[in-house]
């Protein structure tokens, strides 16, 4: 059974249909990348999985629950955004602990989860620092730390690297993949960058204009693109 099942999901904003009955199954532990040009509906789909947008049609399930009507906090997901806005007046430790504290998690559990995330992300030496005292890569890692401490069933990433310079982007790709190999958390990762998709995904979902053009493993799409759009998109330089 799919860990995340997106089944005939549609989205209408006002009178404009931006997603046309899309279906994607994501297996437990899989790293799935949604890729496609700007405006094709990637963020909207991800935000519906997160519970940040209502669903206009179809169903989304996580584990064995249909989550269409569940608020984000009840979905057992954690999301990392492009603009990962850390709290500037909180330390690294406080930034990572904040969401757990809000939920009333036992302080001993909070401390243990923060320590574990800091170890995984090599942030232990920086726990008492403030975001302004960190490099771009370290800030991105704190943003991931905030997701990890919640120990969710599913990670959702929306273009988490697009504000970083090219060199750091390549490094963070590797770090996110290593993180996934270590934690094996089911992941949906959105990007418009086909290189990112090709290097990170177990399975790629290529989208265009609110529809899915093809789903497959990176090499499958490269060797046997379903149409000229996929061939052009996957084959073109970043």
Q: Which residues bind ligand ADP (CB under 6 A)?
A: 13, 18, 36, 38-44
Told to check if 44 binds Mg ion by CB under 5 A, we report no
Q: Supply the minimum distance, in Å, between the C-beta of residue 128 and Mg ion.
A: 34
Report the C-alpha gap between 160 and 191 in whole angstroms: 8
Q: Supply the minimum distance, in Å, between the C-beta of residue 192 and Mg ion.
A: 7
Sign of CA dihedral 93, 105, 86, 192: positive
- Nearer Cβ to ligand ADP (126/155): 155
Q: Supply the minimum distance, in Å, between the C-beta of residue 182 and ligand ADP.
A: 28
- Nearer Cβ to Mg ion (40/123): 40
- Assess contact for 36 and 44: CB atoms under 8 A: no
Residue 39 interface partner, choices ligand ADP, Mg ion, none, CB cut-off 5-8 Å depending on type: ligand ADP
End-to-end C-alpha distance for the chain, whole angstroms = 35
Cα atoms in the 13 Å half-sphere on the side-chain side of 208: 11
- Nearer Cβ to ligand ADP (42/180): 42
3-state SS class at 99: helix
The pair of three-digit structure tokens given for residue 209, joined into one six-digit string: 């204009």
Q: Supply the minimum distance, in Å, between the C-beta of residue 213 and ligand ADP.
A: 13
The residue sitting closest to Mg ion, measured at its beta carbon, is 43
- Nearer Cβ to ligand ADP (10/99): 10
Burial of 108 (0-12, 13-18, 19+ CB in 10 A): exposed
The pair of three-digit structure tokens given for residue 198, joined into one six-digit string: 């090709």
Residue 44 interface partner, choices ligand ADP, Mg ion, none, CB cut-off 5-8 Å depending on type: ligand ADP
Sole binder of Mg ion in the list 43, 140, 191, 194 (CB under 5 A): 43
- Assess contact for 175 and 161: CB atoms under 8 A: no
* Contact positions vs Mg ion (CB under 5 A): 43
């Amino acid at each position: 059974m799919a860990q995340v099942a997106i089944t005939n999901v549609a989205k209408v904003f006002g009178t404009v249909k931006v997603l046309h009955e899309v279906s994607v199954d994501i297996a437990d532990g899989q790293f799935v990348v949604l890729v496609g040009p700007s405006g094709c509906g990637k963020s909207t789909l991800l935000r519906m999985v997160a519970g940040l947008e209502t669903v206009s049609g179809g169903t989304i399930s996580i584990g064995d629950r249909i989550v269409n009507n569940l608020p984000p906090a009840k979905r057992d997901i954690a999301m990392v955004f492009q603009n990962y806005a850390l709290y500037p007046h909180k330390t690294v430790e406080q930034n990572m602990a904040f969401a757990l504290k809000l939920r009333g998690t036992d302080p001993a559990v909070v401390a243990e989860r923060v320590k574990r995330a800091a170890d995984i992300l090599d942030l232990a030496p920086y726990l008492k620092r403030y975001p302004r005292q960190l490099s771009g890569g370290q800030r991105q890692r704190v943003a991931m730390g905030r997701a990890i401490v919640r120990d969710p069933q599913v990670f959702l990433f929306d273009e988490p690297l697009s504000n970083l310079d090219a060199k750091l982007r390549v490094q963070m790709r590797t770090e996110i993949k290593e993180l996934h190999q270590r934690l094996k958390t089911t992941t949906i990762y959105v990007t418009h960058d086909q290189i990112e998709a090709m290097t990170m995904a177990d399975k790629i979902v290529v989208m265009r204009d609110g529809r899915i053009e093809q789903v497959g493993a990176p090499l499958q799409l490269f060797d046997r693109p379903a149409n000229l759009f996929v061939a052009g998109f996957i084959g073109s330089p970043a």
